[in-house]
Each structure stands twice: as structure tokens, then as C-alpha cells.
Amino acid sequence: MILRALILATPLSLTVADQVPTIDVAPGCRAAAAASPGLNQDVGACLKSENNAREQLVQQWSKFPAADRTNCLMLTKIGSNGTYTDLLTCLQIQRDARSLPKEPGLPGTVGQGSR
């Protein structure tokens, strides 16, 4: 039964990653404004920033690997609805991590000795 549910759910997760998801960022913006009254955090400015992040995602979405899109979306939504800024940042970190040079002997480098 569980295996059948997983098999049926798999195409849905792949479909979600095909286009920029819709995220309700308003609650997060309101919470940020309420949590920092001394910093003069504006809900409108937060929403504008989130819309800008979404526009960047729309333009770059297909350039990110599907696995990264799916993983970052899941990470973004852990514990809350998440934000476009969180999603974009996660995808950029994944992309940038792949371009880091592989240096032998660094901790975490598989198959290499330590210095």
C-alpha cells in the first residue's frame, strides 16, 4: 500500500518542479514586520522583494536541475510556507556548490587522504 502511494505520488512531485510554485509569502512578511518594529520592516517592501525573487525564479527556473528544484522547494517549506527568497537562495547555493573546485585532501572529499 505504501509503495503504491509512493509510485502514484512521484509524478506529482516531478510536475511541481516543472514550474515556479506559488508560495503565499504574505504571512512571512507580516511576521517579519511584527518581529522587528524597531527596524521599521515594511510589509509592502517585503512583498515587493518577494515578487522580485519570484520574477528571478521565473527567468531562471529551467536552468536549475529538477532534483535541486524539488529538494529546495521541500527545504523551503519545512516548518512554514517559505519564501521565494529562500527558494532562490537554496537553488543558487546548490548551483554554486557544484562549481567549487575539488581539492584533494580537504575534509569531506571522498577518496582523498588528509593533509
Q: Is residue 68 part of a domain?
A: yes
Q: Helical H runs in the chain?
A: 2-16, 26-35, 43-60, 66-76, 84-98
Q: Is residue 74 part of a domain?
A: yes
Q: Is residue 78 part of a domain?
A: yes
Q: Is residue 55 part of a domain?
A: yes
Number of domains within the chain: 1
Which range, 17-21, 37-41, 106-110, has the best average confidence (pLDDT)? 17-21
* Contact of 53 with 90, CB cutoff 8 Å: no
Q: Is 84 left (phi over 0), alpha (psi -120 to 50) or beta?
A: alpha
Q: Is residue 32 part of a domain?
A: yes
Rounded to two decimals, what is the model's pTM? 0.70
Q: What is the pLDDT of residues 56-94, one digit of tens each?
A: 999 999 999 999 999 999 999 998 888 999 999 999 999
Report CA-CA distances (Å) from 9 to 5, 13, 16.
6, 7, 11
Domain range enclosing 69: 27-98
Q: What is the pLDDT of residues 35-64, one digit of tens each?
A: 877 666 688 899 999 999 999 999 999 999
Return the pLDDT at 20.
95
Q: Is residue 8 part of a domain?
A: no
